[in-house]
Amino acid sequence: MAARVLQLAKLISDSAATIDKACTENGTSVPDLDAPFDPRGEMFRSHAGVSVAVNTAISAANQLLATLRPAPSSILQTSSGFVHSTSLRVAFEANVSTIIKEAGGDGLHVDEIAAKAKIDPKKLVRILRFLATHHVFLETQPDVFANNRLSSLLDIGKPLSELHSVNKFEGTSGLQALLARILDESAKARSYTWETLHDPKSAFSEEPGDSPFCTFIGKREPYWDWLEEPEQAPQLAALGVGMGVMDSMLAGGAILKGFDFKSLTENDLIVDVGGGVGNAVLPIAQANPSVRIIVQDRAAVIEDGIQHWKQKLPAALDSGRVTFQPSDFFAPQSVKGPSVFFVRHILHNWSDKYVGQILSNLRAAASPHTKLLIMDSIMHYVCRDPAGEEGTVPGWESMRNDAPPPLLPNWGMAGAQTYASDLQMMAMHNAQERTLLHLSKLLKGAGWRLIRVHPDPSHLNPQVEAVPI
């Protein structure tokens, strides 16, 4: 075990040296944890070899921590994870980061923060001190707190006077809107996971009405239906802005780094199934002025999509090259034989039962030449992949990219967000993220054959390509 500790320490040291060398050669630096977040500080990640070095250091550091910290302490820390989320929510909803920023200077006394937040300072100081211990906020002097790289991300970017509106997240990056939903109904829903799994009525159900979220709200109403209740208008508005985080990543060109959309012609048609306002296919339409696109979603979303494209790419609408169509992906698909059925971040919202229906409906409408392109997170095993049949699919080996021993093959904490997302899908929708083998089986059952995986450097948007069997 001592040798393992030395191995992990060396991986951290070697990774730090790689990062330092790349930064020195390129005139950049690793961002300062004590300074507010600045997107320009993330430039160092783009240098050759740095991404792998960062993941190695994160994975090794967390494995070293788990090895050296007393086991009872570690399990107690893990069991109290809810303390982190509840504390973070207090600071976020109380606009602590914004209050500190607007005050200027090197920090603000908790009494002044609490007065503006209308919170008991004797309670708030304990929450902020807990967060600062975990590197969210700085305590610069006794009872005086300042923003740092992490706490500054809690600031929505608007004046404090504007943070009580239903649409307070409009015009923001979307990250804080996403945090609002994760820290509120999502965190509350996850606390009912055991009750849902233990109840014979819901334990083995694949129905969205039997999710932990439904246990939390006390009725069998799927999350998407709940969001459309009039009283949930602030939550719906926030989620709409929050989803823009993923769309902005695609807007940077990530979607064009996989399937060859640029090779399609005016004779080709892409159907974006459940495409919302069409943000995902907007970069495709901009890069390929010939291909035709139909964006399908619920009728309530269609008008928003049309207005969105009138602002972003009106010529595509005016020419009829891009159209919107009300659709239900659980009903028979109305568009027959397109070149591509595009399904992004849809399947992970549904259990296997419903994913089978979606895929079967698309297969019934496909021609022998139709391609099915799925963008969803792909789960990795925590052990070494035995490389079964799916391991021979072109592109999978480079995407899998196992970490070197003694690190966990899935890169441990460096890749943990996908697993958190999986449990998020369970809590909110009774759904899940999937391994490639799992997805391959669902595809086969619906008449599709997996032929390729297009890896995504960010690991957030891999593209899985399938064809009719």
End position of a domain, from candidates 50, 76, 102: 76
Specify whether the CB–CB gap between 165 and 233 falls below 8 A: no
C-beta separation of 450 from 440 below 8 A: yes
The reply to whether 286 and 415 lie within a common domain is yes
Please report the pLDDT score of residue 388 as a whole number. Answer: 61
Q: Say yes or no: 118 and 228 in one domain.
A: no
**284 inside domain:** yes
Q: 3-class DSSP state for residue 271?
A: strand
Instruction: Quote the mean pLDDT of the chain.
Output: 94
Q: Are residue 63 and residue 86 in the same domain, yes or no? A: no
Reported confidence tier of residue 167, pLDDT bands at 50, 70, 90 = confident
Whether 261 and 204 share a structural domain:
no
* pLDDT given for residue 396 in this prediction: 85
- Clarify whether residues 432 and 328 are in a common domain: yes
Q: Residue 358: is its pLDDT beyond 90?
A: yes
Give the pLDDT confidence of 267-299 residue by residue, as tens digits.
999 999 999 999 999 999 999 999 999 999 999
Contact between 34 and 149 under an 8 Å Cβ cutoff? The reply is yes
In a domain, 301, yes or no: yes
Is residue 116 a part of any domain in this protein? yes
- Rounded Cα distance between 104 and 139, Å, is 15
Do 367 and 338 belong to one domain?
yes
Q: Is residue 247 part of a domain?
A: no
Residue at a domain's end among 56, 76, 96:
76
CA distance 269 to 291: 6
Q: Which two tokens stand for residue 31?
A: 């961002």
* pTM, 2 dp: 0.93
Q: Specify the number of domains making up the chain.
A: 4
Residue 296 belongs to what H/E stretch? strand 292-297
Q: Alpha-carbon distance 316 to 320, whole Å?
A: 6
Residue 190 lies in a domain: yes
**Identity (one letter) of the amino acid at 271?**
V
Q: What's the number of CA atoms in the CB half-sphere (13 Å) around residue 201?
A: 8
Q: What range defines the domain where residue 14 resides? A: 2-76
Q: What is the 3-state secondary structure (H, E, C) of 412-465?
A: HHHHCHHHHHHHHHHHHHCCCCEEHHHHHHHHHHCCEEEEEEECCCCCCCCEEE
| pLDDT value of residue 241 | 87
For residue 464, is it within any domain?
Answer: yes
112 lies in the same domain as 57: no
Clarify whether residues 343 and 273 are in a common domain: yes
16-59 pLDDT tens trace: 999 999 999 999 999 999 999 999 999 999 999 999 999 999 99
Tell me if 445 is assigned to some domain: yes
Q: Would you list the DSSP string of 328-397?
A: -TTSPPSS-S-SEEEEES-GGGS-HHHHHHHHHHHHHH--TT-EEEEE--EE--SS-----GGGGSTTHH
**CATH number, domain with residue 119:** 1.10.10.10
Q: Which one-letter DSSP state was computed for residue 136? A: S
- Which residue among 210, 242, 274 closes a domain? 242
Sequence-distant (6+) residues with CB within 8 A of 225 are none
Binned at pLDDT 50, 70 and 90, residue 459 comes out as low
H or E stretch covering 196: helix 193-198
Who has greater pLDDT, 233 or 427?
A: 427
CA 243/CA 164 separation, integer angstroms: 21
Is residue 145 within 8 Å of 111, Cβ to Cβ? no
439 & 330 share domain: yes
Say which CATH number the domain at 352 has: 3.40.50.150
Higher pLDDT among residues 461 and 319, named by residue: 319
Catalytic choice (348, 380, 429, 459): 348
Q: Are residues 319 and 397 in the same domain?
A: yes
Q: How far apart are CA 158 and CA 116, in angstroms?
A: 16
Shared domain for 180 and 69, answered yes or no, is no
The answer as to whether 362 is a domain residue is yes
Q: Are 341 and 466 in contact (CB under 8 A)?
A: no
Same domain (yes/no): 450, 302: yes
Annotation marks residue 348 as catalytic: yes
Say whether pLDDT at 125 is over 90.
Answer: yes
Residue 405 has pLDDT above 90, yes or no: yes
